[in-house]
Amino acid sequence: MKRYITRISWVTRLIASAVVVLFSQHALAVGTDAGTTISNQAQVDYNVGGNPQTFILSDPAGNSIPGDALTSGALATTFVVDNRVDFTLVESGFIGHTVVTPGQNGEFVQFTLQNHGNSTQDFRLVATNLVGGIVAGQTDTEDMSGITVYVDNNGDGLTTATDPNFVEELIEGDSVDIYVVATAPVTMANGAAANINLQAIVADAGGPPGLGADTTDDAGSADTAGIDVVFAEGLFASGGTVFTLGDGILDAQDGFIGSSAALSITKTASLISDPFNGTGADRKAIPGAVVEYVISVANSGAEVAEDIVITDTLSTEITIVDDYFGVGGEVQIDNDGAITLCSQEAPDTDNCSFAAGALSVGADSAIDVDPATTLTITFRVTIN
């Protein structure tokens, strides 16, 4: 199967430059319309004994009766131009992976299909996840859902309410934009790629409205008096050798890339003092000693991490130090330099609570952590 893979190294780069040039020239050709009747008739004029004779017209079966076609009945030599199916399918619109957030729907990747053949054609389209494939250096690790194809047959852009999922009656030389719309996984990680493969299959045109049947290639059979079909996409010649790659099918790839928050959480413990040695270097973690906990939540992603709630279940061997940061301030919240205090004591609405041995921060009002910032929770406990 002939494949056009966008934004990555093409296999065709291994082919000689002259061959690539010939291929490009071929892709731009449209030529005489399929179904055109080419009609020609030869005429012979001659003298006998120096005297001009009535001309004789040619006929495919031979003619010796002088005079015009009406007089002689001579027929012109005719043939019908066959259908050279030729088209390209490439990524277009925004070049590069389309950015999506987890669970986002309605975003799309865009392709353009152009008819380089000599006949109007329909095209059937199939869009799928490119499982494990690499597009533009991005390895596929995610699958999109709800993949739907929309074709801008009327040139008014993406209109999901009315656009069909196939290319209809694309005349020679014209192009059409194709949109593949999908929904990102709700767990899509920052920088994760979901690559999409779009396949275009040539179909018959000229029938009733709607998608025609897949076009059949007449390669390998004798030329008929009717319109025969030759699949020529990818067909080119070099040095007298013809490379036949056409099968009436082309593939192109594009993809989506996740933009999300990327959180990491760290909890450290520092021994502050004990009842005998105070803050001296020889302090020990003995009953009555004070330990400081610092919980850090860093967002290294590209999106805001919203509505963060941190829950820390504490062992029964420790007790939170009351009012360490001031009255009603057992816990310090430092959100990228914005500092607030809160209390474990209930009832209150200061964003901290302590119940069933668990300290909760962020339960009363939303805490958002911006990209490239860190949220720090600090509190102290005594060892029982």
Residue 14: is its pLDDT beyond 50?
no
Model pTM score: 0.79
Say which residue, 240 or 341, is predicted with more confidence.
341
* pLDDT score at 95: 87
Calpha distance 187→193 (Å, rounded): 12
* pLDDT tens column, 30-52: 789 999 999 999 999 999 999 99
The letter for the amino acid at 305 is A
How many CB atoms lie under 10 A from the CB of residue 354?
A: 17
**According to the CATH classification, is domain 85-213+247-258 in 1.10.10.10?**
no
Average pLDDT of span 90-99: 92
Provide the token pair at 330.
Answer: 């057992």
Is residue 346 a contact partner of residue 255, using CB atoms and an 8 Å limit? Answer: no
Q: CA gyration radius for the chain?
A: 37
C-alpha of 285 from chain center = 57
Average pLDDT of span 148-156: 94
Average pLDDT of span 355-382: 92
> Which percentage of the chain shows pLDDT scores above 90?
76
Is residue 369 a contact partner of residue 300, using CB atoms and an 8 Å limit? Answer: no
Q: If pLDDT is split at 50, 70 and 90, which confidence band does 121 have? A: very high
Provide the token pair at 200.
Answer: 């275009």
DSSP string, 115-160: E-SSS-EEEEEEEEE-TT-EETTEEB----EEEEEEE-TTSS---T
Residue 48 DSSP SS3: strand
Calpha distance 327→289 (Å, rounded): 21
Mean pLDDT (the chain, rounded)? 88
DSSP string, 208-227: SSSPPPBPPP-TTS---SS-
Q: Which residues contact 161 (CB under 8 A, 6 or more apart)?
A: none
- Phi, psi values for residue 23, rounded to 5°: -65, -45
Calpha distance 267→294 (Å, rounded): 6
Residue 220, CA distances (Å) to 86, 138, 139 in order: 18, 40, 40
Calpha distance 299→374 (Å, rounded): 6
Enumerate the CATH 2.60.40.2310 domain ranges in the chain, comma separated. Answer: 85-213+247-258
Calpha distance 320→317 (Å, rounded): 10
C-alpha of 222 from chain center = 41
Residue 22: is its pLDDT beyond 50?
no
Calpha distance 384→272 (Å, rounded): 15
Say which residue, 373 or 241, is predicted with more confidence.
373
* pLDDT score at 353: 87
Q: Write down the residue that tokens 């009953």 correspond to.
A: 287
175 sits in which H/E element: strand 175-183
DSSP string, 255-318: EEEE----EEEEEEEEEEEBTTTBTSTT----TT-EEEEEEEEEE-SSS-B-S--EEEEPPTTE
* pLDDT score at 281: 95
Say which residue, 241 or 203, is predicted with more confidence.
203
* pLDDT score at 348: 63
Structurally, at CATH architecture level, domain 263-383 sits in Sandwich (2.60)
Average pLDDT of span 247-253: 93
Average pLDDT of span 168-180: 96
Residue 12 DSSP SS3: helix
Q: If pLDDT is split at 50, 70 and 90, which confidence band does 81 have? A: very high
* pLDDT score at 267: 98
Provide the token pair at 126.
Answer: 């199939």
The letter for the amino acid at 321 is V
Calpha distance 138→152 (Å, rounded): 28
What percentage of the chain's residues is helix, strand, coil (to nearest 5)?
Answer: 5, 45, 50
Q: Which of 216-225, 246-255, 288-297 has the highest mean pLDDT?
A: 288-297
Residue 202, CA distances (Å) to 29, 119, 212, 278 in order: 17, 11, 9, 83
